Structure 1
């Protein structure tokens, strides 16, 4: 079955001649807030890098108010939200005693800017596609050289000629994972609509402290090789260095799986009765893993691994509280011989994904936290293996500031590394888009295998 394709409109690039950015200001909570030092977990310290996400909204319909003052409104809403989220206006610092990174909630502020563009939203084409000019839709923080001076969050609100607008958000990953960021934005949208907070934020991360005497009871496969830092999804297109040099010629493409295709994949996975259940997540990861293994691996005796994050909020004991703000995820992995992934039915791969998820227990998480006490950094893909980022599971597409839900909501897609696969909700909020980077021959093979449902 041929995969769905969307019509590509050649976009107009955003540049200095068609966008005007106003003064960048330091925004602090609108009311007095607590100050002090806050603990960062070992999971937080493994992801100290910025993540850029962007949210595009259509022009208002006739029954909606004008967006003419959207910049001033967003600035007011954000300063009010920073009262319960006061720690976002803090700064990182090294503890003078043990040199550990910690958060100083000191009201130093976040960066905020408004902008206007002479372009219409339609002129940007498909805003979910890679566009290097989207770097002009963010307030960057890389000019700051001192840790104690570097803002941990910035926002730029850009209004387009048609009345549509976008929100460019940059935030340090050590403060929030995807779920926390989504809840932050849903709270911001709730304030915008004149409503109360949907979720009360809770920053305390001390329940994720390591044991005084480390208990490393599980082999942490994906901690074998590390880098101390990792560039985020950024419009600058900075690459992550992998352990194995990537081909110089490669391309990034998107493949769409419609709801009907996903239903067909589930039926295929269940038809041999070897598994009793199959979620959408299970079958998406399994199908991409199998298709990519067939496209990339030549040696059948080589191990093929897919890694992905699992939310631990309900898996640790005691569970993390509702509204937990931080990094409440760890990496899980499914690994098997390339021959087994290629030759077995889809149900085999689904079962391996399910085993990987089931392995994330409280004991595993505590073991991971203890391991991170000695091994800082993040896992790096190599030998053809890859990490899958399931952004479609996060509720960013539910954002509504009063003008309807976004056309696109998610990370900047730009020059994705070859060991990384990004899975997003598509613009119609039906089905998913799979973003993948491979060499020409591998991409041709992947297209053939991923389309076989």
Structure 2
């Protein structure tokens, strides 16, 4: 899907409408197309520092088996001409570069996998995420995302002092005031970006990561989103803010949830789909949360990680059960 035109919600709206027409039901919800609802203020007046558009944290020296193995398997030493250079230096060169060849570094050594969580396992994760001091509870999204963030950080064997940034795709439709009309067709995705040191994620309870995620999402109110629109309006070169493989690679991560999208409602006349998910995951470090097609409270975690880290991730992912 071309995200200049539409986000996930609009894309599913299109697919479901297509299915309704194909099965003889007609159009139940017409698209609302008025992009002026998302224009910046005049004059643009950003009020917050927008860390979501800042460069991602870089790897600390001598840290990542992921980086070392990925670099060897993808021939980066030959490309850069520094066969003895520290792995983190090569990775940080990658972070700093926009060269065409850099996209191949991610694709070569990453593998996609889908991990299933039963309803009982989801409940267990939410119980594990409860803050024992304050008794604060967390949502399914917060608990599962914190668990994934923690397991990926462990599987990558990052240093305790390493800062990791989590990119959370956030639908602004209901967060803007007034909310956008039902059926708004376009891209209304903003990004929450909680950050933490690896030691905070892996040594403390699951509640630490969940709390960081909640803080990041709570910040995404109308005032913050309007500030983001103004911030973008003032940028002389939006291409420099485009995200890609350099964004989600170690030590960082991106999580997109489809659990609230009506992705199983598209019936072309042959019945509801038995599975709906991304056809491919283009970048290492990109994660999707997928709802159950039967609505039984289970969910799937679909992600791409380095082939060297995926076995460790799988063991860690199910170690709570």
Supply the distance in 2 between the matched residues of 1:196 and 1:383 (Cα, whole angstroms). 46
TM-score, scaled to structure 1: 0.55
CA separation of 1:321/1:443 partners in 2, compared to 1, >3 Å: closer, same or farther? same
Gaps of 5+ in 1: 1-50, 52-171, 227-240
Residues 316-331 of structure 1: pairs in structure 2 closer than 5 A? 316-331=176-191
Aligned match for 1:280, one of 127, 140, 150: 140
| Greater relative contact order, per chain length (Cα 8 Å cut-off, separation 6+) | 2
Supply the distance in 1 between the matched residues of 2:131 and 2:192 (Cα, whole angstroms). 26
The runs of at least 4 consecutive aligned structure 1 residues that moved more than 6 Å come to none
Supply the distance in 2 between the matched residues of 1:242 and 1:429 (Cα, whole angstroms). 41
Aligned match for 2:216, one of 345, 356, 375: 356
CA separation of 1:249/1:313 partners in 2, compared to 1, >3 Å: closer, same or farther? closer
C-alpha contact 1:397 1:429 (8 A) present in aligned 2: no
Gaps of 5+ in 2: 57-92, 97-101
Supply the distance in 2 between the matched residues of 1:179 and 1:250 (Cα, whole angstroms). 27
Bigger share in strand: 1
Q: How many residue pairs align between the two structures?
A: 268
Give 1:178 shift. 0.7
Aligned-partner SS, 2:161: coil
Supply the distance in 2 between the matched residues of 1:385 and 1:309 (Cα, whole angstroms). 14
Partner residue in 2 for 1:255: 115
CA separation of 1:352/1:196 partners in 2, compared to 1, >3 Å: closer, same or farther? same
Matched, 1:442 2:309: yes
Residues 13-162 of structure 1: pairs in structure 2 closer than 5 A? 51=1
Supply the distance in 1 between the matched residues of 2:7 and 2:94 (Cα, whole angstroms). 23
Supply the distance in 1 between the matched residues of 2:134 and 2:127 (Cα, whole angstroms). 12
Supply the distance in 1 between the matched residues of 2:211 and 2:55 (Cα, whole angstroms). 26
Partner residue in 2 for 1:298: 158
C-alpha contact 2:46 2:231 (8 A) present in aligned 1: yes
Give 1:426 shift. 5.6
Deviations along 1:94-120, one digit per CA (max 9) or x if unpaired, are xxxxxxxxxxxxxxxxxxxxxxxxxxx
C-alpha contact 1:275 1:347 (8 A) present in aligned 2: no
C-alpha contact 1:275 1:351 (8 A) present in aligned 2: no
Partner residue in 1 for 2:286: 420
Give 1:432 shift. 2.4
C-alpha contact 2:142 2:210 (8 A) present in aligned 1: yes
Matched, 1:372 2:222: no
C-alpha contact 2:156 2:250 (8 A) present in aligned 1: no
Deviations along 1:58-108, one digit per CA (max 9) or x if unpaired, are xxxxxxxxxxxxxxxxxxxxxxxxxxxxxxxxxxxxxxxxxxxxxxxxxxx
Give 1:428 shift. 6.0
Partner residue in 2 for 1:57: none
Aligned match for 2:10, one of 180, 191, 208: 180
Over the aligned positions, Cα root-mean-square deviation in angstroms equals 2.5
- Flag the structure with larger Rg: 1
Bigger share in helix: 2
Partner residue in 2 for 1:335: 195
Partner residue in 1 for 2:260: 393
C-alpha contact 2:167 2:191 (8 A) present in aligned 1: yes
Aligned-partner SS, 1:433: strand
Supply the distance in 2 between the matched residues of 1:220 and 1:390 (Cα, whole angstroms). 22
